[in-house]
Amino acid sequence: MLFLFVMTPIAGLAINAAIQIAIARFLPGTGLLRSIYFGFFSGLGGMIIIQLLYWTSCSFLFRDMLPPNIANIAGYMVLGYCYFNFVCLSATARRIRLLAEIYASADGLSLEEMLARYNAREIVEKRIDRLLNNGQLGFKDGKYFIGRPVVLLIAGGAILSKLLFLGRRHELNRKAV
């Protein structure tokens, strides 16, 4: 039974992925980011329910179960962060997209065709449009400003996690030994 308790972060991740994939496939208007958020919180909720079921089947005191439950939640959050980055990497990486378009083109693509598809101005405009549509950016008097700071909060959490676990803000900033 203890093995099942230890595996709850992985069960949460499985719920996360299943819900996110189902929403992305069957409700495409929802958007990728919203499907990821919904999957993450569904997985967290599912994991907590599994942990509650485990508590009720054991004779442990609440204070004895608190540290392992916190560890499981932290473990799930790390797995959820990894899943989020995996999905976003595969969905937005220009290299992957470029390779997919070259693969889909029967005659290949010339450098001019690739540059026409991927100019910096167009990429920035598309990202700004996405941020405006999601409400993460606002536009007033010809200037952009922060809208809903959801991604900023996630980024802050990632930086905090890196500070806690790695002792630095970025994994490439290595301490001198």
Could you tell me if residue 139 is inside a domain? Answer: no
Contact, 106 vs 114, CB < 8 A?
A: no
Could you tell me if residue 56 is inside a domain? Answer: yes
Contact, 2 vs 54, CB < 8 A?
A: no
Domain check: are 83 and 19 in the same one? yes
Domain check: are 19 and 81 in the same one? yes
The whole-number pLDDT of residue 55 equals 78
pTM equals 0.60
Lowest mean pLDDT among 35-39, 72-76, 124-128: 124-128
Report the alpha-carbon distance of residue 86 to residue 3 in Å, rounded.
27
Domain check: are 59 and 23 in the same one? yes
Give the residue numbers spanning the domain of 68.
Answer: 2-92
First to last CA, the chain: 43
Q: Is 9 exposed, middle or buried (0-12, 13-18, 19+ CB in 10 A)?
A: buried
Q: Give residue 83's pLDDT band: very low, low, confident or very high (50, 70, 90).
A: very high
Token pair listed for 131? 């941020």
pLDDT in tens, 101-154: 888 888 888 888 888 777 777 778 888 898 888 888 889 999 998 888 877 787
Query: What single letter denotes the amino acid at residue 119?
Result: N
Could you tell me if residue 121 is inside a domain? Answer: yes
